[in-house]
Amino acid sequence: MSTTLLDVRAVRARFSALDRRLAFFDGPGGTQCPDEVIDAITRYLREDNANIGAPYETSVRTVELIEGARAAAGRFLSCHPDEVAFGQSMTSLNFLLTRALGRQLERGDEIVCTRLDHDANVAPWLALAEDLGVVVRFAGVHDDLSLDLDDLESQLSERTRVVAFPIASNAVGTTPDVARVVELAHGAGALAWADAVHYGPHGRIDVSGWDVDVLLCSPYKYFGPHMGLAFGKREFLESLQPYKVRPSDNYPVGNRFQHGTSQHELLAGFVAAVEYVESLGWEAMVGHETMLGQRFLDGVPDAVDLYGLPTMEGRVPTFAFNLPGRSSEDAATELAAREIAVWHGDYYAIEIMKLLGLEGTGAVRAGFVHYNTLDEVDRLLTALDELC
């Protein structure tokens, strides 16, 4: 566990949204924003709102904002600022990137996904299978819902073009061995195509160290506004022929994968979100989250059906579970009545729900981030004990 302690009281003071009794365990669906993010968005709209390409001051400052946002994205992802693209959402960016890659694919080419994937890194490949006749395969998981790397390796062939995988499961919290997945993908001559949406608030993203070819994430999952962010290796992005309007700049290369005018006010919020994370540091944030997750695992009632790893090793503090005799929707509703915010359903993690036999019913999901407290976790545990 981290030796750097997080001052949670000081953290929460930076979030007006947290000044209420409601315990936000809905972070996997979207985190709250610190006030500095909200202020940055409103400040841009009040003082700098403009389109780019004009000589007057607000347009010039908007260009400077875009450059600053690229720099912030480069720091957050550990890549060159030119290799990033901003968009409406991770899903929209992934459809755009996969569709561009589809121009290079042939019938019979293979895409390997995992049973842990969110559908945003599955459905685009299934769409290409329908259109082009490529084959989509799925690597399985062990009983503890960790990724079965042997099965993944067995799925690879000379026709494999992409291995699509999550850095962390948005449903059950599993964190696959990124280095090994990338090694297997590149060993087969395939692209390593990573979904870091759920991992974003839980640890440092290092696309350079991981050597992934593509990585996508969502700033609204790490204390920023609703938008998407994508990374692609420069040489790979330059090899693609994107779907875009003709006057759109080709450089920086990431710009080729952005449609139309950017959401400039959201870019201002994104920069503030990155600076917020940098002000705390990952060591303190991860250490606090680990403590919260362990508190939950130590106290969860025996009657609760918990899906996934039973320790904090190999996972982030996101937990899927069901209560005896209750649907996931009923349990989430009961918890909401106790001012505890959790999700229910499948959260677009369709494949893992099929595997667990929960298709159509799903599970309750509670996810902890650094602004949650031990007292809030205890409230959740007490409520689960009462509901059981």
Domain ranges of the chain: 8-32+281-387, 40-277
d(CA 174, CA 342): 18
The pTM assigned to this predicted structure is: 0.97
Per-residue pLDDT, 3: 58
CATH homologous superfamily of 8-32+281-387 = Aspartate Aminotransferase, domain 1 (3.90.1150.10)
For 238-258, b where at least 16 C-beta lie within 10 A, e where not — what string?
eebebebeeeeeeebbbbbbb
pLDDT of 2 > 60? The answer is no
Task: Name which of 28, 22, 23, 117 is nearest 365 in CA terms.
Answer: 28
Tokens of 19: 């000044």
Q: What percent of the chain has pLDDT over 90?
A: 96
Convert the pLDDT of each residue in 66-86 to its tens digit. Answer: 999 999 999 999 999 999 999
pLDDT of 260 > 90? The answer is no
Do you find a cis peptide bond into 252, omega within 30 degrees of 0? yes
321 phi, psi to nearest 5 deg: -160, 165
Task: Name which of 318, 279, 97 is nearest 199 in CA terms.
Answer: 318
Convert the pLDDT of each residue in 213-248 to its tens digit. Answer: 999 999 999 999 999 999 999 999 999 999 988 888
Convert the pLDDT of each residue in 292-304 to its tens digit. Answer: 999 999 999 999 9
Same fold, 8-32+281-387 and 40-277: no
Query: Does domain 40-277 match CATH 3.40.640.10?
Result: yes
How confident is the prediction for the chain on average, in pLDDT? 97
CB 195 within 8 A of CB 167: yes
**How confident is the model over 255-268, as a mean pLDDT?**
94
